[in-house]
Amino acid sequence: MAKNEFVSNRYYTIAAKTTGRVLEVADFGLENGGAIQLWDNAGAESQQWKILKAGDGFYKLICRHSEKAVDITVGGTQDGAWVHQWDFVGADNQLWVIEPTEDGYYKIKSKIGGKCLDIVGMDACNGAHIQIWEDVNGDNQKWSIAQLPAKAGAEVKTEEKKPAAKKPAAKKPAAKKAAAPKAAAAKAETAAEKKAETPKAEPKKSAAKAAPAKKAEAPKAAEAKTEAKKAEKPAEKKSTAKKDAAKK
């Protein structure tokens, strides 16, 4: 693996060539000053590291569980200076060159002094402390760096969230269904209003009723004429009687 292949959003284990034990923060420490040591790989977050570019070919090593950086105590440059974790402040004693070796491992060298991460006393036991030491090309200065797979749990959570995003879309048809009854109700109300308005055409009926009244007046006028004629006839008879009397 070339050093430029480290992925910024993934974690790695850093294991000693001599024992296969991995770098970890001692006792799951979260505070500044927690010792860096070797331990059997238990898959703990205190044994997992981000390898992040810090510019000019240097890297910072950030512990997953504490989010603190591998740091040389008191900014030391002398052989035997231990390393621990500390808040990352961009200091040179927190920056490292990751250099591939011919046998497939890496040397991890400090920016200041160019000294290597090294196992104190070449100890092979759990709890062995880590220091810096001049590069002697020893196996206790060589490390295997392995990328960890993405957590299955994180992938499952991502998949579970996708259907949740579709739920708001499912509400749209419901809104349309609700709109249909409202439209039907509006139509029913309009129809009812039209029916209610129909009786207003009554003036036409009253006009029709008025027609019989006129017809009723016609017989009355005829009766009046008849009466007048009847009245005229006796008058005529009377005048005829007068004429007859005059002739006598």
CATH number of the domain encompassing residue 98: 2.80.10.50
Is the whole model's pTM more than 0.85, yes or no? Answer: no
The number of folded domains in the chain is: 2
Same domain for 124 and 58: yes
Same domain for 120 and 41: yes
What's the mean pLDDT in 148-174? 50
Residue 167 inside a domain? The answer is no
pLDDT in tens, 4-38: 589 999 999 999 999 999 999 999 999 999 999 99
CA–CA dist 67, 78 (Å, integer): 26
pLDDT above 70 covers a percentage of the chain that reads 59
What's the mean pLDDT in 188-208? 48
Residue 114 inside a domain? The answer is yes
Helix (H) or strand (E) holding 109: strand 106-110
Residue 193 inside a domain? The answer is no
Residue 194 inside a domain? The answer is no
Residue 37 inside a domain? The answer is yes
223 has a pLDDT exceeding 60: no
Same domain for 141 and 22: yes
Same domain for 106 and 43: yes
| DSSP helix/strand/coil, 137 | coil
**Burial of residue 7 (number of CB atoms within 10 Å: 0-12, 13-18, 19+):** exposed
What's the mean pLDDT in 45-66? 97
CA–CA dist 200, 154 (Å, integer): 74
Range of the domain at 112: 3-150
